[in-house]
Structure 1
Amino acid sequence: MTAQNLHHLSAAGVSLVVDTSSGTPHIIHWGEDWGKGMLADLEVLSAETAMAPNGDVSSPSGIWRENARGFYGRPAVRAHRAGADWTHKFELTTVSASDTALHFESEDAAAGIRVTCTFTVAHSGVILVDSTITNSGAEGLQVEEFATWLPLPDTATESIDFSGRWVNERQLFRRDIQPGLWSRDILEGRTSHDSTIMQFAMTDAATFQNGSVWGVGLLWSGNTRHMIERTATGRTEIGAAELLLPGEMILDAGASYRAPTVAAAFASDGFDGVSHRLHEWLRARPGHLGANSPRPLTLNVWEAVYFDHSFDKLSALVDAAAEVGVERFVLDDGWFAGRRDDNAGLGDWVIDTAVWPEGLTPLIDRVQAAGMQFGLWFEGEMVNANSELYRTHPEWIFGADGRIPAEVRNQQVLDLTHPGAYAHVLGQVDAVLSANAVSYIKWDHNRPLVEPSHLGHAAVHEQTLAIYRLFDEIKQRHPHVEIESCASGGARIDLGMAQHADRFWASDCNDALERERIQRNTMFAIPPEMLGTHIGPTRSHTTGRVHTLQFRAAIALFGHAGIEWDITECTPEERAQLASWAQYYKDHRALLHSGRVVRQGDDDAPVHIMGVVAPSQDAAIYSYVQLRDIGSSIPARIRLSGLDPDARYRVTLVEPAGAAPPSARSIPQWCAGAEVTGRALADKGLLAPILFPESAVTIEAKRV
């Protein structure tokens, strides 16, 4: 190893170092930037050859993990030609570098395969990895897996990923890293409620503020695989890949497959640190809507009217929404032809004149006259058997060998890889948007893909690319239109869709107790301004729980806030509470949608603390949430992290939607205002008010 064979990327305190002295790119460091002398140190520390007790030599296998180089784990490339050319040894042919990117090209001439890999560092220190495989042989090449792997240090001993189901997305699972391969596979053809978004590894006992954390996430909305492998040598790597179906990626001579980009994030200051890097990376993407484009307070009418679309009822909702300060009014499912329930209509994206004889114009005019934007629901990737589209083109649904897949929610999946099907959906959506003042789309996706076959071949990959193209084309034709990705709640929240949509619906569950955890865990990767966080009805329709308006409002504040409730039934007191909360959200959303997210409390702790700290550290807003009985008579103190330790702050209890009911008469003195240093707030903390379970209070901190 010599200095000329070391290639270095660095930004925001993160470094990636690749060694090419063995003839293949080999990552020798991904983690903290040590500063001056780092390459010299690595040249010394990485030069020694590891030897096992039996005399086996551990040679660097490099990023492709080839068995030909003595690697016995899962290779990065699994490809063959009808059983031939299945083992590979890639020799480096080209290296190019810039301040922000490293590019490597390698080839196995005997197998007739070329591979490339590009590492690009974002301003926040997130590393983006792009890989391509090309068939340079004469016969077809079947690619079964093409994965990105990055090394983890010996100090990475634990991992986190997420699981879930409908209305209970992103449950956090923490476990020790053990020998063997741990793989989180998604085969729904969409990201799924069970998606992990990212997989993380960390040092022992890492917390939100402490410890080193490494994470990888696939920029992809189809089938995915996230992996951690510890080999018998004790070395550990973390990886991700598109999960390709049988025969889905067969490359003709000269053809290439570009794997989905992988985002790799590292931080030495805990989970909040790695989340902040990911949030800043997403905030820098073109067209991001956040602090500089205030996220409108939104009312979605689904839980208010369901399919009962009445102009009088909706007009009353418009009036109520305007009274409490709503800025965007979204008409959900039920406006299009034949859609009186969920048995018919999907696929026929034309306004139902039986319900709307004058079209949507009277309602839109009413909404705009009240000073609000108008939004509309679509589910363009689905079709009901009872629809004009299905009767005309039954061949446009996914299915294999002439079988019609089992219906889910009375619908089938429309195969957008059919040019005609794609043109139909784009054309009808474009026509509605062109004829109506729609500024927002809620785009749903209510079922997984079963036997996703196009003309006999697996087509999840192409279907995923098709929805990306469709969203991009809609926004090109209608630049003012925002798109929310909703998939039966939170079943399509991923880093790939984040490049094409503006907002995510986090879950169909509006129970504030469940939502607190769902939102908090989604923010491991997604910034708050991209998450729809709504106040639901007093009694949740998914759990039956009853919560105070104050509690529901406190949880909904930390995101792109809104309401999902028939507010025409609100009492005058409740409307006043909503109006007060709405104004507080508007006054503080620039901070909520630009700051650093900070959290306290394990996932299963009885108390959670969540906050957003301004980039200047001049102000912060925190939520103290008591989820259940704390198990002691006096709660632990409230530690507020993320502030300037040497600055003094005035901390105050604020009540945007009214006071939380205390379970004791004693209210801490600081609630009326107190001045404390950031260091004391983080280390000592505030005396906690004694609350009932399923209660929350909101705290402001302002530099003095």
Structure 2
Amino acid sequence: MIHHLRAAGVSVVLDARGTRVPRLLHWGADLGALDPTALTAFAEARVPAIAPSSIDVPFSLSVLPDISDGWTGRPPVAVRGPRAQGPRARPTLLGTTAVGTQRIDTSVGWGAARIDTRWELTSSGILHIATTVTNDGRDDLALSDVGVVLPVPDRAREVLDFSGRWSGERAPQRQQPAQGVWLRETRHGRSGHDDPFLLVAGTPGFGFSRGEVWAVHLAFSGDKRLWFERSDLGASVLGAGERLSGLRLSPGEVYTAPAVFALWSGEGLDAVAARSHDWVRETRGAMTPRPVTVNTWEAVYFDHDLARLTELASAAADVGAERFVLDDGWFTGRTDDTRALGDWTVDAQSWPDGLSPLIDHVRGLGMEFGLWLEPEMVSLDSDLARAHPDWLLSDLATPTWRFQHVLDLTKADVRAHLFGAIDALLREYPISFVKWDHNRDLLVDDSGGQVRAVYSLLDDLRRAHPHVEFESCASGGARIDLEMVRHADRFWTSDTNDPLVRQRIQQWTGLLLPPEYLGAHVGDARAHTTGRVSSLSFRLATALFLHAGIESDLTRVGDADRAAIARWAHYYRAHRDFLHSGRAVHADLPGDSALLHGVVAPDRRRALYCYAALDSADAALPAPLTLPGLDPDAVYRVEVVDFGVPAHAIEDAPPPWIATGIVLPGTVLAAGALTVPLLSPGNALLLDVRALDVAATA
């Protein structure tokens, strides 16, 4: 049978006729309603010619292409063992089941291995692919690859993926590969700062609002492989799967592969992001309003003093903070980052009366209290490491990273100990939020079990404490994916609070996660990670759109700046429902000197945009702005948002409309009508755009 799945402007056509492995005939634009006759004709139309010096039957790319089919490209699945013996060495379709109208389950036998795959087209138009491999034989099987390959058209010639480093995550890199494989493989034991979290192939020149694109994401927080291949056979594919290291399956054992998310768009990257955001919001459900969060790390580091912290909490409440998070340094013996990780009891010297005096003060000011933990790690100079050296994931000869080792969470007694320690804290104190950190690579070859054990531990804690929210932090943004979003409520986007760097990191991270899941803080004027000085207006504009917070010693901030922060926090609280429910949009500006991003309400009657100058422009007068996403039939009023700390511009006079605002139709705003101030690099302009109750004239 030929199956046709349709949703949200996407069609998926899977040819599962006969006993051969199914063929994915189409993944892309909606083909409309096709009856069985039309689907059969479509499948016949896709049968190619037989090329000289090739297999003597028409080549057809299956969902499990193998060299025995004539596929000489990279195989998505590699099984070693009895499958190479006997008459069933080639994969064979065992069965296909339609589950409703949006899901197809396929089962393929490959020797002793049974490969079951669920192909589901979500309501947001994402092809969600989940695979398991079962050893149905009597001998062990070795798995070196279990992934997915998806065909993409020949016109998808340009590839975008991401690299990065600490405080510089999700750096884009684009190219047009020739024939062969462009492979991104990670070996961090976590996603990593250089995580290729999204691999995109598209028509040359695709952007945020233009071009046809196909993208894959592996929903996994560990080692992975993602690749694009152009074969000399003529086929191009995107592939994704966990990086395995000789995984062995005993008879009857099942391996569950990380899910692959496949996203198509005919309107550029913003539409890819919209599909992902819709899926996250639908899967996780409605969230409570994201509270203005103050984190103590860059304010005090390890200098934990009750008087200083209560003063900081009071200052936080004064500017409108709603959550106060005590970061690293509160537990026994933790005076710097070389010691005490793993000893999760309150330090009696710094906190002779426990954390209650601070927590009572914080809650008395009307704020929630949050606490930092790094449960997966241990310092050698700790009671835990001295008592249980056998709990370390690697031996002592392995180099430390941030002076710490990793606990082996695949051991049940390690997980039980960590659950007990964290559970005790959450029961003793009214803690509403846990910042869960992960500050090093694992440096082991096989880390899949560790990653899955972390998911399990988080789930156990969430079930026991459903009122507690958990943030995923991994020395910044080194663990952000669509599996961890099932286990965490917030993600720390990057350890840098430098707005010049943050603007780019946040732009690209937002391709995957909605803004309400990504933390962004207003830091000090001089960024702790770069030493660069930035204006308060730029820092406020950069942190506004995401889950906003503050990471600065507010007790040392001047009165005028504190008043501006308070106005910013009030604006955020008043408008966060709109900011965290709308569609994220970006303008495709020429060059890299500036960017424009925004959020447009679902009904398109409201929008907020940020125009950020990141470098010197290549013209004395930059081109007028285009505002994407608006209703062309509506009329809008555009006004500048002012928190009392204006952006710095090098000009004799600004454009006249800046002072008074302006009213224009959506068609005009989308065509490029708004001239901009001549902002110096490291400054931003916020535009509040609201529809008026009048119709645009024809």
Tell me the TM-score normalized by structure 2: 0.96
Superposed, 1:688-703 pairs within 5 Å as 688-703=676-691
2-side partners of 1:185 and 1:39: how far apart? 41
Residue 80 (structure 2) pairs with residue 93 (structure 1):
no
Report the Cα offset of residue 604 of structure 1.
5.2
Report the Cα offset of residue 308 of structure 1.
0.3
SS at 1:313 equivalent: helix
2-side partners of 1:93 and 1:667: how far apart? 70
Unaligned runs of 5+ in 2: 693-698
Mapped contact 1:327–1:372 kept (Cα < 8 A): yes
Q: In terms of mean alpha carbon deviation, does 658-667 or 166-175 score higher?
A: 658-667
Residue in structure 1 matched with residue 212 of structure 2 by the alignment: 212
SS at 2:164 equivalent: strand
Mapped contact 1:179–1:234 kept (Cα < 8 A): no
Cα–Cα, structure 1 residues 75 and 317, in superposed 2: closer, same or farther, change >3 Å?
same
Residue 405 (structure 2) pairs with residue 412 (structure 1):
yes
Residue in structure 2 matched with residue 480 of structure 1 by the alignment: 467
Q: In terms of mean alpha carbon deviation, does 31-40 or 58-67 score higher?
A: 31-40
Report the Cα offset of residue 542 of structure 1.
1.0
Cα–Cα, structure 1 residues 403 and 368, in superposed 2: closer, same or farther, change >3 Å?
closer
Counterpart code for 1:702:
R
Mapped contact 1:288–1:502 kept (Cα < 8 A): no
Residue 494 (structure 2) pairs with residue 507 (structure 1):
yes
2-side partners of 1:343 and 1:96: how far apart? 55
Residue in structure 2 matched with residue 252 of structure 1 by the alignment: 250
Cα–Cα, structure 1 residues 495 and 578, in superposed 2: closer, same or farther, change >3 Å?
same
Residue 561 (structure 2) pairs with residue 544 (structure 1):
no
Residue in structure 1 matched with residue 277 of structure 2 by the alignment: 279
Mapped contact 1:405–1:451 kept (Cα < 8 A): no
SS at 1:588 equivalent: helix
After superposition, the C-alpha distances for 1:244-281 in whole angstroms (9 at most, x for unaligned) are 12x3x211111111111111111111100111111110
2-side partners of 1:26 and 1:668: how far apart? 58
Report the Cα offset of residue 286 of structure 1.
3.0
SS at 1:625 equivalent: strand
Report the Cα offset of residue 665 of structure 1.
3.1
Residue in structure 1 matched with residue 612 of structure 2 by the alignment: 625
Mapped contact 1:549–1:657 kept (Cα < 8 A): no
2-side partners of 1:79 and 1:146: how far apart? 8
Residue in structure 2 matched with residue 431 of structure 1 by the alignment: 424
After superposition, the C-alpha distances for 1:73-128 in whole angstroms (9 at most, x for unaligned) are 112211112895599422112111121211111113xx212111111121111111
SS at 1:50 equivalent: coil
2-side partners of 1:642 and 1:409: how far apart? 44
1-side partners of 2:37 and 2:174: how far apart? 36
Residue 132 (structure 2) pairs with residue 132 (structure 1):
yes
2-side partners of 1:511 and 1:567: how far apart? 17
Superposed, 1:142-291 pairs within 5 Å as 142-245=142-245, 247=246, 249-287=247-285, 289=287
Mapped contact 2:153–2:236 kept (Cα < 8 A): yes
Residue in structure 1 matched with residue 696 of structure 2 by the alignment: none
SS at 1:498 equivalent: helix
Superposed, 1:106-125 pairs within 5 Å as 106-108=108-110, 111-125=111-125
SS at 1:628 equivalent: coil
1-side partners of 2:373 and 2:591: how far apart? 36
Report the Cα offset of residue 657 of structure 1.
5.0
Report the Cα offset of residue 45 of structure 1.
4.1
Report the Cα offset of residue 670 of structure 1.
2.7
Residue in structure 1 matched with residue 438 of structure 2 by the alignment: 445
2-side partners of 1:592 and 1:488: how far apart? 26
CA-based RMSD of the aligned residues comes to 1.6
After superposition, the C-alpha distances for 1:393-450 in whole angstroms (9 at most, x for unaligned) are 0010012xx5531111110000011111111111101100110010001000000012
2-side partners of 1:148 and 1:621: how far apart? 39
Counterpart code for 2:314:
D
1-side partners of 2:673 and 2:405: how far apart? 54
2-side partners of 1:348 and 1:557: how far apart? 36
2-side partners of 1:274 and 1:603: how far apart? 21
Report the Cα offset of residue 603 of structure 1.
9.0
Residue 325 (structure 2) pairs with residue 327 (structure 1):
no
Residue in structure 2 matched with residue 665 of structure 1 by the alignment: 652
Residue in structure 1 matched with residue 9 of structure 2 by the alignment: 13
2-side partners of 1:55 and 1:542: how far apart? 58
Cα–Cα, structure 1 residues 547 and 85, in superposed 2: closer, same or farther, change >3 Å?
farther
After superposition, the C-alpha distances for 1:333-390 in whole angstroms (9 at most, x for unaligned) are 0001110111111011111111111110000000001110000000000000011100
Cα–Cα, structure 1 residues 85 and 361, in superposed 2: closer, same or farther, change >3 Å?
farther
Counterpart code for 1:168:
G
Residue in structure 1 matched with residue 308 of structure 2 by the alignment: 313
The partner residue of 2:634 within 627, 647, 663 is 647
Report the Cα offset of residue 160 of structure 1.
0.7
2-side partners of 1:365 and 1:71: how far apart? 66
2-side partners of 1:631 and 1:126: how far apart? 39
Counterpart code for 1:701:
V
Cα–Cα, structure 1 residues 603 and 288, in superposed 2: closer, same or farther, change >3 Å?
farther
Counterpart code for 2:262:
A
Mapped contact 2:83–2:113 kept (Cα < 8 A): no
2-side partners of 1:447 and 1:550: how far apart? 33
Cα–Cα, structure 1 residues 693 and 265, in superposed 2: closer, same or farther, change >3 Å?
same
SS at 2:209 equivalent: coil
Report the Cα offset of residue 582 of structure 1.
0.4
Residue in structure 2 matched with residue 635 of structure 1 by the alignment: 622
Residue in structure 2 matched with residue 46 of structure 1 by the alignment: 43
2-side partners of 1:670 and 1:349: how far apart? 57
Instruction: Give the share of equivalent positions with the same residue, in percent.
Output: 42
Mapped contact 1:118–1:131 kept (Cα < 8 A): yes
Mapped contact 2:227–2:238 kept (Cα < 8 A): yes
Mapped contact 1:553–1:657 kept (Cα < 8 A): no
Superposed, 1:457-606 pairs within 5 Å as 458=446, 460-601=447-588, 605-606=592-593
SS at 1:590 equivalent: helix
After superposition, the C-alpha distances for 1:557-607 in whole angstroms (9 at most, x for unaligned) are 110000111111000001000000000111111111111000124695211
SS at 1:51 equivalent: coil
Mapped contact 1:443–1:483 kept (Cα < 8 A): yes
Cα–Cα, structure 1 residues 505 and 88, in superposed 2: closer, same or farther, change >3 Å?
farther
SS at 1:160 equivalent: strand
SS at 2:479 equivalent: coil
Mapped contact 2:589–2:596 kept (Cα < 8 A): no
Counterpart code for 1:688:
V
Residue in structure 1 matched with residue 667 of structure 2 by the alignment: 679
1-side partners of 2:282 and 2:85: how far apart? 42
Q: In terms of mean alpha carbon deviation, does 158-167 or 670-679 score higher?
A: 670-679
Residue in structure 2 matched with residue 455 of structure 1 by the alignment: none
Superposed, 1:336-375 pairs within 5 Å as 336-375=331-370
Counterpart code for 1:310:
D
Counterpart code for 1:532:
G
2-side partners of 1:61 and 1:210: how far apart? 29
2-side partners of 1:368 and 1:353: how far apart? 22
Q: In terms of mean alpha carbon deviation, does 157-166 or 40-49 score higher?
A: 40-49
Mapped contact 2:189–2:444 kept (Cα < 8 A): no
Counterpart code for 1:478:
H
Report the Cα offset of residue 67 of structure 1.
1.5
